[in-house]
Structure 1
Amino acid sequence: MDMPSEQFLAIQETRRLGLRALRAALLQVHKEVIGYDRGQYERLHGPIPAGQFVQLVTEESFFRWLDPLSRLIIEIDEELDGEEHHDETCRAVAAAAQKLFSERGDADFRKRYQEALQDEAAVTVAHGRLMSVIGQLRQLP
């Protein structure tokens, strides 16, 4: 029996909204940890001129620990570009995000992220929001 198109569209929109919420939460975490990391970097190397920061983030090994987070955001962007979204995909993306921020995630990421989480209140707030969104996505039927 085929699903009515209205119901199908409503389910697709729910999934799309969940993915967008996860993306937004990940972007907020990304923004906060980059801000924290910039401060750490500047303590070691001095102020970064305004136009050079983006180049440093993409080229400097100091910031490589953020790559798994950046890749996860890119994966969500690619999923959002698609026509259809499936519950399994939404749950898998949520599980990947949860794993990244857990004991089972990338060791380099976890170590540096934990430092930022302990030292920067804005990272802690963004992390709480992210965990809430992940929990909601994991509960999709």
Structure 2
Amino acid sequence: MNMEKGMPNEQFLATQETRRSGLQALRAALLQVHKEVIGYDRGQYERLNGPIPAGLFVQLVTEDNFFRWLDPLSRLIIEIDEELESPEHHDETCRAVARATERLFSDKGDNTFRKRYQEALQDESGVIVAHGRLMSVIGQLRQLP
């Protein structure tokens, strides 16, 4: 491409596409983890409180304290959504999102989240599979230029 006309060079475009696809892969992996832990948590909630009536589950997830532990995960997904809306993705922003994800799922993360997530990870095979995929995506993001 011709830089004289203000067009970005091919390396810049390739890097932008790599960052974008990395963010999309991270978002997809986090959404899968979110889906699996919500399914697990719904079962836990229903064991304690009985079946959740149809149409009430979304309201419970957003309003009931039982599900508040998922807030850090939900916020992380929203941050990635906001980054994906911008036309350019900067190295530092991508690294910050990757670090925030790593921190959330590490011993340094939110204590409430970590405790409940570890329970789900030990009890639910779907969470184990989604967690493995997430860790793989994080590993790939670390290698981005």
Shared fold per TM-score greater than 0.5? yes
2:109 match: secondary structure: coil
Q: Distance in 1 between matches of 2:140 and 2:72?
A: 22
Letter in 1 for 2:89: H
Q: TM-score, normalised by structure 1?
A: 0.96
Aligned equivalents of 1:140 and 1:20: distance in 2?
A: 14
In the alignment, the residues of structure 2 paired with residue 95 and residue 132 of structure 1 have an alpha-carbon distance, to the nearest angstrom, of 14
Is contact 1:91–1:140 with CA below 8 Å preserved after alignment? no
Asked whether the equivalents of residues 95 and 138 of structure 1 are also in contact (C-alpha less than 8 Å), the reply is: no
**Residue type at the aligned position of 1:104:** K
* Equivalence for 2:14: 10
Supply the distance in 1 between the matched residues of 2:91 and 2:142 (Cα, whole angstroms): 9
- TM-score (ref. length: structure 2): 0.93
Q: Which string of whole-angstrom CA distances, capped at 9 and with x for unpartnered residues, describes residues 86-140 of structure 1?
A: 1221111111001000000000000000000000000000000000101111222
Q: How many residues align?
A: 140
Task: Give the % identical residues.
Answer: 84
Residue identity opposite 2:64 in structure 1: E
The one-letter amino acid paired with 1:49 is P
Structure 2 counterpart of 1:34, one-letter code: I
Q: Letter of the aligned partner of 1:118 in structure 2?
A: Q
Unaligned runs of 5+ in 2: none
Which whole-Å CA distance do the structure 2 matches of 1:140 and 1:7 have between them?
A: 13
The amino acid of 1:37's aligned partner reads D
Q: Quote the residue 2:52 is aligned against.
A: 48
Match of 2:127 in 1: 123
CA distance in 2, matches of 1:21, 1:102: 19
Where do residues 97-108 of structure 1 align in structure 2 (5 Å cutoff)?
97-108=101-112
Give the 5 Å matches for 1:1-141.
Answer: 4-141=8-145
Question: Aligned partners of 2:121 and 2:45: how far apart in 1?
Answer: 16
Larger Rg over CA atoms: 2
